[in-house]
Structure 1
């Protein structure tokens, strides 16, 4: 009886000992077995695993992708702008043995490396790169963190910059710059549209000039469109040919008025009806003589002597020298 009780007790203790050596490794974990403090090279895969109680113990390592937010880091960019940047890192354990042996706490180690790498990226980059070239910065930041993490059995999948916080003055400056850029683009678009419209109008003008009926159709269409509107304006179409006639007549009148002053004083009508062109220097004398003839009253019926006396003196008698005769002074005449 006593022996049976002892056997039962021994069997129960052995069962407890065997149960204490049973370990379950989950699908997302890998087991590192230490025997007398020494890591075994064989990594335990997911499933039911047995350990020697009191001799072996297991350390489980999660191999899932870890999402780790990087705290906000403040720094000064290469163009001397103070910014605050935060990011997020995605990594996973690639070598469970190194992650369990090489580093005490790989999560804390990766977080510290990520913070220092982010501050380094801020100092090496310009503000425009942080705002517009984040893809390249993300790749560079991932490489900087992944380099030391590989020695710990950690692989950095990717790192992304979440937000870049700027000072208020810099925000206003960037807003003004963006507004000016949008204004420039809008002006370029409007100018390009006007240029294309001008080309189209020039082509249409050439086509309509070759087809006179098209211009009349366009005129009638415009009249119909205006007449459809509810207004009191009466539009009377005026033929274009009439405008061209008035234009040609005005140009001809302008040419005649320009030619008349050049020939007004260059002609003199002789008594016999012939025209004789006189030099410009003789025009004043001829004009005075003609005025004298016009002012002299007509004397008729007094005889030949009176007619001769009433006839105006020749040009040479009124003090107008004859250019064909040599000029003599008054003393010479008295001497004669």
Structure 2
């Protein structure tokens, strides 16, 4: 519920009972905490779009005395929280001094427990009493941690990879396909990868599955089979934008395998075989037509020259005799018989 807050807020306007809690607290800090608790300052818009003035933003009417008491209680609660927040660094400093004292007392036996080594491709995200240190990370090489108050988590900066499990995806033309992919990524910001997400690799894997499903759902079967590079680049861009708040950089996305249903594979194989047979018949017909034309031209040439015809006849006989060692009865042309008979008559 929205309450009235004075425009000029300082220690002089705070009731006397709250003055001990308001010491050291700036107006900006108190105003920010007031906004957090749904209080409004005159002339400023509230979360419902109304302007907080000297009246309540809500329709409900609350007596002035009740409003003032609620204001006192809530403001005192805010000031108490601010006081506790100011005490946290003091406690941290005390614990830090105790840790240093313990380190000096146990020196040099505590050195093995305080020195850590990170490899060239590793970074250590260090927390001190649960809070991130100023530098955030340490390494590579040897680094020092305070005993009892420092904890760290080692982060690998190398390019890592994982397989996206087989996804049953319904394409845009209502065909079910099973797709597997490989994702290559690396940690670009170790601090964010530790503080913003519980498990960066597992979260990236889950996001990759949903992203791949969404991208392939907008493609037809022919596009999925022919445009693998385009699908990989789109998936990489979408996945990289989604993992950027986690400190993860997606380097590459590759479609590893695309499996179709058995019935669809059989029908596609039959269609491809029929297309191949049709092309083979067309090629054979073209060859026969070309051969027929060549034979017609050769016949025209041989028909005009009887010697060429006889030579062709003899070549055919030689080819037949060379294949098998058999006796063949070959009819002799009538012209040759006539010439032989004429020669015999002349001799006689």
TM over 0.5: yes
CA change 1:225–1:128 in 2 (3 A) is same
CA contact (8 A) 2:103 2:110 kept: no
**By how many angstroms is 1:107 displaced?**
1.0
Aligned to 2:319: 225
2:235 counterpart SS class: helix
1:177 counterpart SS class: helix
Distance in 2, matches of 1:98 and 1:206, equals 88
Aligned pairs (5 A) from 1:47-62: 47-62=141-156
Q: CA RMSD in A?
A: 3.2
More displaced stretch, 80-89 vs 228-237: 228-237
* 2:209 equivalent among 112, 115, 119: 115
* 1:124 equivalent among 198, 212, 218: 218
TM-score scaled by structure 1?
Answer: 0.59
- How many residue pairs are counted as aligned between the two chains? 234
CA change 1:156–1:200 in 2 (3 A) is farther
**By how many angstroms is 1:116 displaced?**
0.6
Aligned to 1:272: none
Aligned to 1:256: none
Q: Which runs of 5+ in 1 are unaligned?
A: 1-8, 242-336
Distance in 2, matches of 1:11 and 1:42, equals 25
TM-score scaled by structure 2?
Answer: 0.58
CA change 1:92–1:193 in 2 (3 A) is farther
Distance in 2, matches of 1:210 and 1:92, equals 83
**By how many angstroms is 1:42 displaced?**
5.9
Aligned to 1:26: 119
User: Residue 235 in 1 paired to residue 330 in 2?
Assistant: yes
Distance in 2, matches of 1:240 and 1:47, equals 107
CA deviation digits over 1:68-100, x for unaligned, max 9? Answer: 121222221111112232222121112323322
Extract structure 1 runs of 4+ deviating beyond 6 A: 9-12
2:109 counterpart SS class: helix
Aligned pairs (5 A) from 1:40-51: 40-41=134-135, 43-51=137-145
Aligned pairs (5 A) from 1:1-336: 13-36=106-129, 37-41=131-135, 43-198=137-292, 200-201=294-295, 204-205=298-299, 208=302, 213-228=307-322, 229-231=324-326, 233-236=328-331, 238=333
2:183 counterpart SS class: strand
CA contact (8 A) 1:85 1:164 kept: yes
CA change 1:14–1:75 in 2 (3 A) is same
CA deviation digits over 1:111-163, x for unaligned, max 9? Answer: 11111112113311222233343333223322222221233222222222333
Distance in 1, matches of 2:332 and 2:238, equals 80
Larger Rg: 1
2:108 counterpart SS class: helix
CA contact (8 A) 2:216 2:231 kept: no
1:16 counterpart SS class: coil
